[in-house]
Structure 1
């Protein structure tokens, strides 16, 4: 059997053809009908066999590529990933070395791909808090099972990590989870039914798309502008009656750097209320924006699931996150936590509570991050703005648009050859057109400004010498 035969013999009776076709391709790869290294049929051939539009099949191929299952090669076609690589970059690709880069060691590659925030105090504060937990935590916390609902005293203690406007919420509105990604997955899994559609921004953190795919849900995108989601476009989608949930990052958006103003948040919230659409608000970067408008969870508490965590504030290794939502929703999500992992580690929760006690230090650390971000914004702008059509900066990263004559995949590849890992904007795309001429640079990831400057010098050289081999001038 071939993939074309599989498509022809499994025409869907109901539901969205895009979702059905993607599942068929996934099954074909899993079951060996499509073998590692094998070329997929041309888009037109596959679309003809599936009796769907070319756009639908293009969307399927694009989604498979974003999930790391296939690899599109310019001028050659789309190929199934080798077995060792399948799924390795389902959310974000790791820095890798081609034949030209094998002389580079890991230490020589500067990673501007993963959106981490380097700090020299995170390790110290985690070690300190773990030591205190080891000596102070009760036997009950160290040696017993709990459930996904969490402990009242612990939840109230961890409110200190929430924005000031949410710090007085009652404990039945708070859920402790394993981080924002776990919060997104749990909320989508417990608050949707088969056939529900998730509304996304055209560009977003790829983990959301990975969760939607894993849960077998479908998605549509809404138009955005320089202020965030366009109300007219959002309402048009809501009128179709298909949307159950809107997932958005309103503050320090990843990757576009947009912070949605208060007036726009109110417009979007009122539309969500009108059509009974739940808002999942990812506010992982919110602590870096003290002057940001109130979160949706404050403006529309009955309509919002607010998510944040400690991955950016302290360290990605501290897998503690928070959800704030109406009590009936936190109850459902708690059941989801119990079903997935039974409980969030009480040891990590106690560690986070110890860190809460160093509030003055946390405020000082956050101010240091914002100050350092400003310096790095200026450095990045100085080196790269002459080559960009648009450059937006926020507290953790920059989003750069390039002229259409600069092929972004080639830029990413040549940067890797020079020892700099950056991300193609299409990695964040939820449709076939978004992010094609952009890259995201995580300028707060290098542990020193000097290392960032070294990376920017290399990127500038790559952009200044479009026809030269990157390895020739480094």
Structure 2
């Protein structure tokens, strides 16, 4: 718990890069714990690369450029093997995890085990024992089209690229389709992996305004006129974290502006399978100027690191070259497993329906317990976006939730500017294995909202 508080303070900027931590004795006194306990906390933070200890000077917060993904995508508890975990909780017997945006399902584990066995049994020696390249096998690309929305299922293999997942697709697009000095246009709030990819590639970013329908056309055009924007990265369906789905009319306006100003659109549609009623993606509306990205992480399992990119042939060629440069190839055996799953059309049709039904039930449960604080409840599927009252800050709420046994994400963890998400939290309502576990967590959160002026002990 103490280590979690330090990690949150570092990630949200309460403890700034280069700042000196309190001496061990003072920190232990403030936290009302033993010196040995606090010493173990400091040692663990140093081992994770979050702080550095300097003899004779003290312990300091690492610069962000030296902090690894553990802090970018922090979890309250390091996930252990699921077999070691009590099946009535998300991670451990005392923490319910509503932070990681997982989608629980009863079919994913059995399906991936079946697919891996089938792939291993059917694979030729050539598949198992030789190298391929980043361009992929045309026949496998065609089989993978079953994972695409209906509007893209007739896509040719020249426009299709298999990659290591949506995150890899984002990184590859930024690294291969932009140059130093190019600007990436992003939304005020987005999945943290987008800003991480921008930082890793050394690109600069500008932030476009959003409203209840998604990206604001006037703001986007203004930015296009002002700067050297090369690419717009957006989540138009089931936006993470706000749950907004951009309507068709708005997509047509944004797509037309992007074409006018020669700005590529990269659409992360990882949640799209949960929204069969959603408008067509940008790659279907503007096939010569958009990249469609998705993966099997939410649909099946995050352990199957396979994704798809749909784009004009010259762009898929560049991205395939990027895959070759990064990892030489996408694992043929994992691709083969994915194609085995893609052949089970009945399952691919029933899974979204089952998840959507569960999501609607959990969304209603969330609304019933937390009330009007839930934003965009009608479009909540994998997660819910909660607006907090002015009497409690997101950081305080997160700390109190942690003390109550619920791990959640503060809204500013998704922010790309200093003001976005400051009064919000995101709840991953599809993460708990059972709806009753979610209910237990929501009741605890509602109790905190009912007593907003009670603060936990503060270390900083």
TM-score tier by shorter-chain length is 0.7 to 0.9
Give the one of 237, 240, 245 matched to 1:254. Answer: 240
Alpha-carbon separation, structure 2, partners of 1:167 and 1:427: 35
SS at match of 2:72: coil
**Corresponding residue of 2:364:** 378
Task: Please state if 1:95 is matched with 2:76.
Answer: yes
Alpha-carbon separation, structure 2, partners of 1:303 and 1:252: 22
Give the one of 405, 426, 429 matched to 1:419. Answer: 405
The verdict on how the C-alpha distance between 1:306 and 1:82 changes in structure 2, with shifts beyond 3 A counting, is: closer
How many residues are matched?
A: 398
What are the Cα deviations for residues 329-385 of structure 1, in whole angstroms up to 9, with x where unaligned?
A: 111100110111110000000000111121102211211101111110111011112
Task: Please state if 1:442 is matched with 2:428.
Answer: yes
Matches within 5 A, 1:228-243: 228-243=214-229
Alpha-carbon separation, structure 2, partners of 1:248 and 1:133: 34
Paired residues of 2:374 and 2:385 also in contact (CA < 8 A): no
SS at match of 1:279: strand
TM-score (norm 2): 0.82
What are the Cα deviations for residues 253-311 of structure 1, in whole angstroms up to 9, with x where unaligned?
A: 00010100000000000000000000001000111111110110010011001100100
Q: Following TM superposition, by how much is the alpha carbon of 1:462 offset from its aligned partner in structure 2, in angstroms?
A: 1.6
**Corresponding residue of 1:356:** 342
Task: Please state if 1:460 is matched with 2:446.
Answer: yes
**Corresponding residue of 1:51:** none
What are the Cα deviations for residues 26-63 of structure 1, in whole angstroms up to 9, with x where unaligned?
A: xx97xxxx487499xxxxxxxxxxxxxxxxxxxxxxxx
**Corresponding residue of 1:394:** 380
Matches within 5 A, 1:44-59: none
TM-score (norm 1): 0.80
Moved beyond 2 Å, runs of 4+: 34-39, 85-92, 104-107, 388-393, 465-471
Paired residues of 1:418 and 1:470 also in contact (CA < 8 A): no
**Corresponding residue of 2:302:** 316
Q: Following TM superposition, by how much is the alpha carbon of 1:134 offset from its aligned partner in structure 2, in angstroms?
A: 1.5
What are the Cα deviations for residues 375-413 of structure 1, in whole angstroms up to 9, with x where unaligned?
A: 101110111126x27463511010011122211100000
**Corresponding residue of 2:96:** 110
Root-mean-square deviation (Å):
2.5
Task: Please state if 1:331 is matched with 2:317.
Answer: yes
The verdict on how the C-alpha distance between 1:279 and 1:448 changes in structure 2, with shifts beyond 3 A counting, is: same
The verdict on how the C-alpha distance between 1:196 and 1:270 changes in structure 2, with shifts beyond 3 A counting, is: same
Matches within 5 A, 1:193-272: 193-272=179-258
**Corresponding residue of 2:82:** none
Alpha-carbon separation, structure 2, partners of 1:37 and 1:176: 45
Paired residues of 1:177 and 1:320 also in contact (CA < 8 A): yes
Q: Following TM superposition, by how much is the alpha carbon of 1:69 offset from its aligned partner in structure 2, in angstroms?
A: 6.2
Alpha-carbon separation, structure 2, partners of 1:467 and 1:166: 51
Which sections of structure 2, spanning at least 5 residues, go unmatched?
1-15, 24-48, 52-59, 79-88
Q: Following TM superposition, by how much is the alpha carbon of 1:170 offset from its aligned partner in structure 2, in angstroms?
A: 1.0
What are the Cα deviations for residues 424-448 of structure 1, in whole angstroms up to 9, with x where unaligned?
A: 0000001111000000000000011
**Corresponding residue of 1:13:** none
Alpha-carbon separation, structure 2, partners of 1:312 and 1:202: 23
Give the one of 38, 55, 80 matched to 2:61. Answer: 80
What are the Cα deviations for residues 116-165 of structure 1, in whole angstroms up to 9, with x where unaligned?
A: 10001100011111111121111111111000000111111111111111
Paired residues of 2:391 and 2:453 also in contact (CA < 8 A): no
